[in-house]
Structure 1
Amino acid sequence: MRTASIARKTHETDIAVEVNLDGTGTYQVSTGIGFLDHMIEQFSRHSLIDVTCRIVGDLHVDQHHTVEDSAIALGQCIARALGDKAGIGRYGEAHSAMDEALARVVLDISGRPWLVWNVRFTQERLGEMDTELFEHWFQSIAQAAGITLHIEQLYGSNNHHIIEGVYKGFARAMRQAVERDPRKGGAVPSTKGILGAGSIEAGSGEAGSGEAGSGD
C-alpha cells in the first residue's frame, strides 16, 4: 500500500491528513468549510484515493489559510505516497460532465509544478466558500505534489456544476496518473530515470517554493 500522513499545528491551522493511493475512495473530511468538504470528498471518491483530512483553522480571520493548508498537506501526502514514482502512469486526463457544464483536466506528475486555470465564476461564494479560493487550492496542490496541471471550463452556467465537474475531472485524471502500469516493470516513467517532486511548507500559511526536479 502506498500511504502517507502529515500532521502539523501552527497559529493558523491544526491539520492532519492521510492518504492511501491504493484505496477504494473512502474518506473522512472535516475542514470547517462545508463546500470544501464536499469537493475533497468528491476527489477521494472518484480518484479511489482514500483521504482523511481534518483541519481546525482560523476561520474567524477568513478561509484562506484553511483552504491553502488543506491542499498543501494533501499534495504533500500524495507526493510522499508516490515515493520515486516507479511504475506509475504519470499522465492523466479527463472530461467531466456535470449537467450543462463540461470541464477538461489534463495533468502530468512531472515534478514541475504548474497550474493553467481557465475557469470562470459568476458569483463570489458557493455555500460559505469564496469562489476565488478554488484556483488557489489547485495552485497549492499542484505545487505541493509536483504536478503540471491544466484545468479548463469548456462551458457551463451553474457555478456549482462547474466546480464540481472540475474536482471530479481532477480526481479521474489523478486516478490514471497514480495507478501502476504493469508494463512499465517498475521503471520510473522518464528518460532521465528520475522524476523530482516539488516541496512546500506552509508554517506561515504562505505558499512557499521548493526545488522541483527536472525529470522529463
Structure 2
Amino acid sequence: MSTSSDLPAPAAPATETESRRGSVSRETSETRVEAELSLDPPAGGLQRQIEAPNGFFAHMLDALTRHAGFGCRIVADGDTHVDLHHTVEDVGIALGEALRQALGERAGIARFGTAYAPLDEALARAVVDLSGRGFLVLEMEDALRRSWVTRDFPMTLVEDFLHAFADRGRLTLHVDVLRARNGHHAAEAAFKAVALALRQAVARRPGELGVPSTKGTLSR
C-alpha cells in the first residue's frame, strides 16, 4: 500500500497560487503600445511604469491601476500630431486584452464589483461584471460629455478608452457621473470608481475554484 509520502503532492489550483498576469504588444501604422498587468503584485509592493504622450491620460492610467491594486507597465506612443484618439483607444484595447489574458478562465473570482468615488464636488459610480461580454454604458450630463477635461483632452476620449477597455477585456461596465462641475473632476472620479469596482471583481474567493456562472464559463 502506498503511503502519503509515496505519492506526489496534488497540484495546487492555479487560481489560488499563480500570479495572474497579462502582456500585450500592439503596433499599427498609428500607434505602438505595450501593456503588462499583474493582478496579484508581490508583497513587496506595486510596481508601475506608465509612459503616455499626454500627461492627463498618464495620470488617469496611474489612478486606474493604482486604485485597482494592479501592477503594470504601459508604454504608448502614437500619431498625436493628428489626434489623441488613436493612442487613447489603442491603450484601451491593449490594456483590456492584457486584463482578459490575466483573468484566464475567470475561475474563483468575485466577478462583480460596485464602487463610488468622489473628487471634491464630483461623484461617480461604477458597476463591473466580468461577464465575458464587452459592454459599456457611460452616463453624464450632456454639458459634461461635450466638455474638455484639459485644453488638449476632450471628455469624448474618456468614453473612447472605456469602450475599448470594456470591449477587449470582455467586461460589462456601467459608469455614471452623478454630479460634477468640471470635466477634470468628472473624469478622475469615473476612473477611480472603475478601479475600485475592478478591485472587487477580480478578487479571489477563498475556497471557490469554479467559474462564477450558471453556464459554466465566462471566457466564451
Any conservation in 2 of the 1:26–1:45 contact (CA below 8 Å)?
A: no
| Aligned residue among 21, 35, 52 for 1:3 | 21
- The residue number in structure 1 matching 2:97 is 76
| Aligned residue among 16, 23, 37 for 1:19 | 37
1:54-105 per-position Cα deviation (integer Å, ceiling 9, x unaligned):
0110111111110000000000000000000010010001011111111010
| Aligned residue among 95, 100, 119 for 2:140 | 119
Q: Give the secondary structure class of the aligned counterpart of 2:76.
A: strand
Alignment size in residue pairs: 196
Structure 1 Cα separation of the partners of residues 214 and 61 of structure 2: 33
Q: Give the secondary structure class of the aligned counterpart of 2:186.
A: helix
- Check if 1:193 corresponds to 2:216: yes
- Displacement of 1:123: 2.6
Structure 2 Cα separation of the partners of residues 25 and 88 of structure 1: 21
Partner letter of residue 99 of structure 2? I
- The residue number in structure 2 matching 1:150 is 174
- Displacement of 1:162: 1.2
- The residue number in structure 2 matching 1:203 is none
Structure 2 Cα separation of the partners of residues 102 and 4 of structure 1: 31
- The residue number in structure 2 matching 1:103 is 124
- Displacement of 1:130: 2.0
Q: State the TM-score, normalized to the length of structure 1.
A: 0.87
CA RMSD of aligned residues (A): 1.3
Partner letter of residue 62 of structure 1? D
1:102-140 per-position Cα deviation (integer Å, ceiling 9, x unaligned):
101001000111111102426334142122111111111
| Aligned residue among 112, 123, 135 for 1:91 | 112
Listed as ranges, the gaps of 5+ residues in structure 1 are 197-212
- The residue number in structure 1 matching 2:8 is none
Q: State the TM-score, normalized to the length of structure 2.
A: 0.85
Superposition misfits of 4+ residues, deviation over 6 angstroms: none
Listed as ranges, the gaps of 5+ residues in structure 2 are 1-18
Partner letter of residue 20 of structure 1? S
Q: Give the secondary structure class of the aligned counterpart of 2:138.
A: strand
Structure 2 Cα separation of the partners of residues 42 and 25 of structure 1: 13
- Displacement of 1:158: 2.5
Structure 2 Cα separation of the partners of residues 29 and 69 of structure 1: 15
- The residue number in structure 2 matching 1:200 is none
| Aligned residue among 177, 182, 193 for 2:206 | 182
